[in-house]
């Protein structure tokens, strides 16, 4: 047992959560150095799905003129039907609480079927335009389907695809690179849409908690909401020179306060860390705007002297906050 694990178990013993006998049993078990390959096998399954679906996409791209459109769509449809036929046949059906499948392969077949469904719908729209020029419907249909699949089969990966599709439907790309490159500062309506989407995701977690519907999905919804709201607000803080930046500063402050509370409720270190990072960036942007307003930069020599101490103090404070969170989380 490593030092960190031993200290954690000792803290449980000191707080009377476990008995002395249980402590000795845990210590003896961990001294055997037994480890599970479950995570590694699931990682290989996940990579297999990604490689398979990526291979399908490359095959279509390289042989689109040779194979033919109907043949490609037929192969995709057959693969989708096979995936979901097996999954529906061996699934437990829809359940409001978390569902654990005896066979982990089902989870990855669901993911493969969902990705192939998105490829099928995108290819169908690109080639035959069943929705005409309404490309948003070509995004919305697989998004709705992904939400259904995610809730029916209790699949977090498919839920992430569904939320990404929902964001794409309103014009937002939610990959880390695309989020930064989105034109929030040139199109404020997009910023408001992003913040509204993040707010709706938060409201859905509150509602689903009240009706006890897949509450373990809340972490995924909140992660997307935190990043979307914070990046939209920060992007407009950087590029807004009129009083509209005050609105986005207030949004970021409210968002940071909410995610500060919810990170403690869920005991989520990732939400807590990103909340601190986004709040820190926002505070610094507002501080620079304030210093610029009072023309403090005229005293640039004093500013340069203060800057290193400010950043060192920020790092120390960040470390203390993380330690405090980990201590209270136990």
Q: Give the pLDDT of residue 174.
A: 47
Cβ pair 179, 227 in contact under 8 A: yes
**The pTM is what?**
0.81
Cβ burial of 146 (10 Å; 0-12, 13-18, 19+) is buried
Q: How many other C-beta atoms can be found within 10 angstroms of the C-beta atom of residue 123?
A: 17
Tell me how far apart the alpha carbons of residues 64 and 113 are, in angstroms, rounded to a whole number: 21
pLDDT of the residue at 274? 95
Distance between CA atoms of 91 and 103, rounded to whole angstroms? 9
Helix pair angle (188-210, 218-239), 10° resolution = 160
The encoded tokens of residue 282 equal 């926002």
Write the secondary structure of the chain as one string of H (helix), E (strand) and C (coil): CCHHHHHHHHHHHHCCCCCHHHHHHHHHHHCCCCCCCHHHHHHHHHHHHHHHHHHHHHHHHHCHHHHCHHHHHHHHHHHHHHHHHHHHHHCCCCCCCCCCCCCCHHHHHHHHHHHHHHHHHHHHHHHHCCCCCCHHHHHHHHHHHHHHHHHHHCCHHHHHHHHHHHHHHCCCCCCHHHHHHCCCCCCHHHHHHHHHHHHHHHHHHHHHHHCCCCHHHHHHHHHHHHHHHHHHHHHHHHHCCCCHHHHHHHHHHHHHHHHHHHHHHHCCHHHHHHHHHHHHHHHHHHHHHHHHHCCHHHHHHHHHHHHHHHHHHHHHHHHHHHHHHHHHHC
**Cβ-count burial 281-292 (b if 16+ within 10 Å, e if not):** bbeebbeebeee
Dihedral angle sign, alpha carbons of residues 180, 183, 187, 190: negative
CA-CA distance, 161 to 151, in Å (whole number)?
12
Kindly list the distances between the CA atom of residue 244 and the CA atoms of 118, 252, 270, in Å, as whole numbers in the listed order. Answer: 38, 13, 30
List, for the chain, all residue ranges whose pLDDT scores fall below the cut of 70.
1-7, 17, 32-40, 64-65, 172-188, 240-243, 295-303, 329-330
Whole-angstrom distance between the N-terminal and C-terminal Cα of the chain?
18
């Amino acid at each position: 047992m490593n030092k960190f694990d031993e200290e954690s178990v000792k803290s449980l013993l000191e707080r009377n959560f476990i008995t002395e006998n249980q402590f000795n049993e845990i210590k003896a078990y961990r001294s055997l150095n037994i480890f599970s390959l479950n995570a590694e096998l699931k990682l290989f399954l996940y990579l297999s799905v990604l490689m398979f679906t990526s291979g399908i996409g490359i095959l279509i791209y390289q042989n689109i003129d040779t194979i033919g459109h109907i043949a490609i769509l037929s192969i995709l449809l057959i693969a989708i039907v096979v995936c979901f036929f097996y999954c529906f046949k061996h699934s437990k059906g829809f359940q409001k609480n978390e569902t654990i499948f005896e066979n982990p392969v089902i989870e990855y077949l669901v993911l493969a079927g969902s990705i192939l469904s998105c490829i099928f719908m995108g290819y169908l729209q690109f080639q035959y335009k069943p929705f005409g020029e309404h490309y948003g419907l070509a995004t919305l249909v697989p998004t709705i389907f992904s939400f259904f699949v995610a809730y029916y089969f209790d699949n977090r990966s498919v839920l992430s695809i569904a939320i990404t599709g929902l964001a794409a439907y309103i014009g937002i790309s939610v990959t880390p690179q695309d989020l930064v490159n989105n034109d929030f500062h040139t199109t404020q309506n997009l910023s408001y849409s992003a913040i509204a989407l993040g707010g709706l995701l938060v409201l859905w977690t509150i509602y689903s908690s009240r009706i006890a519907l897949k509450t373990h999905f809340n972490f995924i919804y909140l992660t997307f909401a935190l990043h979307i709201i914070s990046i939209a607000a920060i992007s407009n803080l950087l590029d807004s020179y009129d009083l509209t930046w005050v609105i986005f500063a207030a949004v970021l402050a409210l968002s940071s306060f909410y995610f500060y509370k919810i990170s403690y409720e869920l005991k989520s270190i990732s939400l807590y860390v990103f909340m601190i990072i986004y709040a820190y960036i926002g505070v610094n942007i507002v501080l620079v705007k304030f210093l610029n307003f009072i023309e403090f930069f005229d005293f640039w020599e004093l500013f340069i002297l203060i800057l290193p101490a400010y950043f060192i103090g920020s790092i120390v404070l960040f470390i203390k906050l993380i330690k405090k969170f980990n201590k209270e989380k136990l």
